[in-house]
Amino acid sequence: MRHILTLVVFVLVGFTLPAQTTKIIGSISDEQGKGLASTTVSLLKTKDSSLVKVSLSDQSGQYQFINIKDGNYFVAASSVGYSKKSSQAFEVNGNDIAVPSFALKQVPNNMNTVTVTAKKPFIETRLDKTIVNVDASPTNAGSTAMDVLEKSPGIIVNNDGSISLLGKQGVIVMLDGKPTYLSASDLANLLKNMPASALDQIEIMTNPSAKYDATGNSGMINIKTKKGMNNGFNGSLMLGATTSIYKMDDKLYFMPKSQNSFNFNYRRYKFNFFGNYNPNFFRGRNVLEIDAKQINSQGELKGYTDQQTKFKFGNFNQTLKLGLDWYAGKNSQCA
């Protein structure tokens, strides 16, 4: 039995460590070779161009993605006033990757035609924080709040659901400007069952200003939910369902998943009553196979065990949030 336990521990460690250390780095510049700061760099899967993670370049144009799983990817860079450009595909296989640097071409100015559009960018950079506008990315449709956090720049979500910012633990996560006071596991369950359609913005603060509690020196994340601004009663309803197909023993099984949300608010004079209700469910199946061999000190096979476990799982979670705003004066803002 001692040999079997040693073998299992070794396998688990071997598969876990590379996923925690894999890093992708690169740089973006203009046509003159000067690094472009605050460029939005997206990491996408080669197979279907789905978004995995977003990063922002620093003052020298450098960017990085950390804790990336093995697979085939490419990066796409975009910046205001420049044409979007993508890199060649590359493979992540447990080793750090240095993506060849590339330059963005400046879009020529044409004053003959002027078009003004009002569209929020997916990522906004300000002096004290980075803002993720959730609705600005079509890939967030049908996702959860945890999925959006995992894609956001600088944020890492571990397998146990703990959240870190730029590699720092102890990040304070707030909901509509107020601390959640939840444990890491409870917060993870809340975010996994909160649909992205209920979110308005995610504010990421690596160096919180003095108005926040000093305990947020590891960074703060403020998740802002949607609120209506019109007088009277208004709201929105979103129903979404997806399914995966799992094949086992030549049989096909459907594994449905539903993300639903109902957001509402009633605004009258100085008062605004708001809330959201999120009922979600998930069903799944899996198979666990264990093949173990018992070997003595002479290297002889003394026995073996083949074990197969079939199991199905699922959950049904409901989240209800209610709040009340009071505007003390015309210059006051919503809490």
Which of these ranges, 34-43, 46-55, 155-164, has the smallest mean pLDDT?
A: 155-164
Q: Which tens digit of pLDDT belongs to each residue from 228-285?
A: 666 778 777 778 788 888 888 888 888 888 878 787 878 887 788 888 888 888 888 8
What does the pLDDT average to over 74-81? Answer: 89
Instruction: Specify the residue for token string 């963005």.
Output: 104
Q: What DSSP letter does each residue of 175-211 carry, written as one string?
A: ETTEE----HHHHHHHHHTSBGGGEEEEEEESS--TT
Q: Is the pLDDT assigned to residue 115 strictly greater than 70? A: no
Domain boundaries, the chain: 1-104, 119-225, 233-326
Residue 154 has pLDDT above 70, yes or no: yes
Q: Is the per-residue pLDDT at 316 higher than 80?
A: yes
Percent of the chain with pLDDT over 90: 11
Q: What is the pLDDT of residue 27?
A: 92
> Taking a C-beta distance cutoff of 8 angstroms, is the pair 259, 279 a contact?
no
Rounded Cα gap, residues 199 and 317, in angstroms? 18
- pLDDT tens digit sequence for 281-306: 888 888 888 888 888 888 888 888 88
Tell me what the mean pLDDT of segment 117-139 comes to.
Answer: 80
pLDDT (mean) for 320-333 = 71
pLDDT of residue 99: 92
Out of 5-9, 109-113, 233-237, 238-242, pick the least confident.
5-9
The mean pLDDT of the chain is: 79
Query: Which has more pLDDT, 329 or 52?
Result: 52
Give the confidence band of 74 by pLDDT, cuts at 50, 70, 90. Answer: very high
Q: Which of 37-41, 161-165, 280-284 has the highest mean pLDDT?
A: 37-41
Query: Token digits for 167?
Result: 């590699």
Report the pLDDT averaged over residues 65-77: 90
Q: Is the pLDDT of residue 147 over 90?
A: no
| pLDDT of res. 210 | 66
Name 107's bridge partners. none
Residue 308 clears pLDDT 70, i.e. is over it:
yes
Bridge-based pairing of strands 220-225 and 172-175 is: parallel
Mean pLDDT confidence for 18-35:
79
Tell me what pLDDT residue 18 has: 38
**96-100 own/partner pairs: CB under 8 Å, 24+ apart:** 96/21, 96/22, 96/23, 96/24, 96/25, 97/22, 97/23, 97/24, 97/25, 98/25, 98/26, 99/24, 99/25, 99/26, 99/75, 100/26
Average of per-residue pLDDT across 147-152? 88
* CA 273/CA 150 separation, integer angstroms: 31
What CATH number does the domain located at 119-225 have? 2.170.130.10
Which CATH number is associated with domain 1-104? 2.60.40.10
pLDDT tens digits, one per residue of 212-227: 655 556 788 998 887 7
